Chains A and B, each alone.
Chain A
Amino acid sequence: GAGVSQSPSNKVTEKGKDVELRCDPISGHTALYWYRQSLGQGLEFLIYFQGNSAPDKSGLPSDRFSAERTGGSVSTLTIQRTQQEDSAVYLCASSSDRGNEQYFGPGTRLTVT
């Protein structure tokens, strides 16, 4: 079946602009996660959605970062007023309600110039 998909695959933006990154989880997966992968920080957790529960936002690095998940499926990660340190690969993962294995998408490479 189809895996986790993310769009765009690459995004170049100017410092100060807002960006939106999209994630389509595996159909039927109730849990959705955002991580980012950068040279200096490795793989870091950002935010986690589980069903209809309030999201776990404990990994968001600043209030410029937000995410929503509509209809329990697609999620959008928004970064406002982007900074150069936001440059990274943003990864989305999903897992089933009972499962503990997270399946990752290909990521969005964000470059802030």
Chain B
Amino acid sequence: AQSVSQHNHHVILSEAASLELGCNYSYGGTVNLFWYVQYPGQHLQLLLKYFSGDPLVKGIKGFEAEFIKSKFSFNLRKPSVQWSDTAEYFCAVNAHTGRRALTFGSGTRLQVQP
């Protein structure tokens, strides 16, 4: 069975600070990896994804994530956060082939203070 761990439950940063949110997964096969974001009062939106190839992927709004296979990690980064990045961030995984249902981490609430 797949599982996803997000170790940071609540992160508070000042504007312009750098961000790194941890995500580790457990699965015996090849996976696809995703970060979704949920802004206050809005629905889940895809931030970025990794299927194969270059392990450093870039998403919307200046976010990027690096897949490190040996560490089963897919950490999310942004060099300089803005107040508008205040949201909840979810890491998710599904099988590269076969079952496509997503397994989500518990989420990280990011609060950016102006």
Question: A: which residues have CB within 8 A of B?
Answer: 31, 33, 35, 42-45, 48, 50, 56, 58-59, 91, 93, 95, 100-107
4 more A-B residue pairs beyond the given contacts A56-B101, A104-B44, A107-B43, with a C-beta to C-beta distance below 8 A:
A42-B106, A45-B101, A56-B99, A106-B43
Residues of chain B with a CB closer than 8 A to A91's CB: 43-44
CA gap between A23 and B49 in the complex, in Å: 24
Counting CB contacts under 8 A, is B82 at the interface?
Answer: no
Nearest CB on B from A57, distance (A): 11
Question: B: which residues have CB within 8 A of A?
Answer: 32, 34, 36, 42-46, 49, 51, 90, 92, 94, 99-107
- A100 near B100 with CB under 8 A, answer yes
CA gap between A52 and B39 in the complex, in Å: 34
30 A-B interface contacts by CB (under 8 A): A33-B102, A35-B104, A42-B104, A43-B104, A44-B104, A45-B101, A45-B102, A45-B103, A48-B99, A48-B100, A48-B101, A50-B100, A56-B99, A56-B101, A91-B43, A93-B44, A100-B32, A100-B49, A100-B51, A100-B100, A101-B34, A101-B46, A101-B49, A102-B100, A102-B102, A103-B46, A104-B36, A104-B43, A106-B42, A106-B43
Residues of chain B with a CB closer than 8 A to A56's CB: 99, 101
Contact of A31 among B44, B49, B90, B100 (CB under 8 A): B100
Nearest CB on A from B56, distance (A): 19
* Number of A-B residue pairs having CB atoms within 8 Å of each other in the complex: 51
Residue in B closest to A43 when the chains form the complex, CB atoms: B104
Residue in B closest to A46 when the chains form the complex, CB atoms: B101
Residue in A closest to B42 when the chains form the complex, CB atoms: A106
CA gap between A42 and B44 in the complex, in Å: 13
- B94 near A100 with CB under 8 A, answer yes
Instruction: Tell me which of B90, B94, B102 has the highest count of chain A C-beta atoms within 10 A of its own C-beta.
Output: B102
Q: Which 4 A-B pairs have the closest CB atoms?
A: A43-B104, A104-B44, A45-B101, A106-B43
- A105 near B104 with CB under 8 A, answer no
